[in-house]
């Protein structure tokens, strides 16, 4: 189920373009505190889980600081889930799809079983406690149970291809790491 996207630089670049649009939109909104102008203040990240071809562009998180009060504004992102080191796409694909073992998923994603276990804890315990999820979960009827994350989300988003469905899910999660959500 869609694991090939992890080896697809074109999909990663597509996500970068979405992030650039989200950043442009945030910048037009000006500083949420004093309505001052926002200046580019991207900060470095050490991305994991992305193809080597896009590592340089994934090494920066788009962000701004206010020219008047210096408050940082970090826009939504489809590339990163909050402060998680691995790219959002890797975390989305973290749970074993039907017919796969956890070991097969570790091999495909090149992560350790321990990392995979940490991701599950994040999905099922840390994420449900965030203001983002408490607000966003209401969109799903019937609700998506915490124990069913992230795979329970798959059926809730449409799209003829893996790439389209995944892009929609990543857009849904994009506010998670924004300063508007307290990150």
CA 106 vs. chain centroid, Å, equals 19
Residue nearer to Zn ion on the CB measure, 34 or 113? 34
User: Helix 9-28 crosses helix 162-173 at what angle (to 10 degrees)?
Assistant: 30
- 17-76 residues near Zn ion, rule: CB under 5 A: 31, 33-34, 36, 66, 68-69, 71
Q: What x/- string results for residues 139 through 178 when contact with Zn ion is judged by CB under 5 A?
A: ----------------------------------------
Residue nearer to Zn ion on the CB measure, 24 or 34? 34
Closest CB 21 distance from Zn ion, rounded Å:
22
Alpha carbon distance 26, 11 (integer Å): 23
Could you tell me how many residues of this chain bind Zn ion (CB under 5 A)? Answer: 8
Q: Are 124 and 148 in contact (CB under 8 A)?
A: no
The three-state (H, E, C) secondary structure of 126-178, written as one string: HHHHCHHHHHHHHHCCCCCCHHHCCHHHHHHCCCCCHHHHHHHHHHHHHHHHC
Residue nearer to Zn ion on the CB measure, 12 or 64? 64
Residues forming the site for Zn ion (CB under 5 A): 31, 33-34, 36, 66, 68-69, 71
């Amino acid at each position: 189920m869609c694991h090939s996207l992890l080896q697809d630089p074109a999909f990663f670049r597509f996500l970068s373009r979405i992030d650039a649009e989200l950043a442009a939109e945030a910048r037009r909104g000006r500083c949420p505190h004093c309505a001052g102008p926002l200046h580019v203040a991207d900060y470095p990240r050490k991305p994991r889980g992305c193809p080597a071809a896009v590592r340089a562009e994934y090494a920066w998180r788009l962000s701004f600081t206010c020219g008047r009060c210096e408050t940082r504004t970090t826009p939504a992102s489809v590339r990163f889930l909050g402060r998680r080191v691995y790219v959002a796409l890797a975390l989305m694909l973290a749970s074993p799809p039907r017919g796969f073992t956890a070991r097969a998923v570790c091999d495909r994603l090149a992560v350790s079983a321990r990392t995979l276990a940490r991701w599950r804890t994040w999905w099922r315990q840390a994420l449900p406690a965030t203001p983002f999820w408490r607000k966003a979960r209401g969109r799903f009827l019937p609700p998506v149970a915490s124990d069913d994350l992230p795979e329970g989300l798959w059926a809730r988003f449409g799209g003829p291809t893996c790439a389209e469905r995944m892009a929609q899910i990543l857009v849904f999660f994009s506010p998670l790491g924004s300063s508007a959500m307290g990150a």
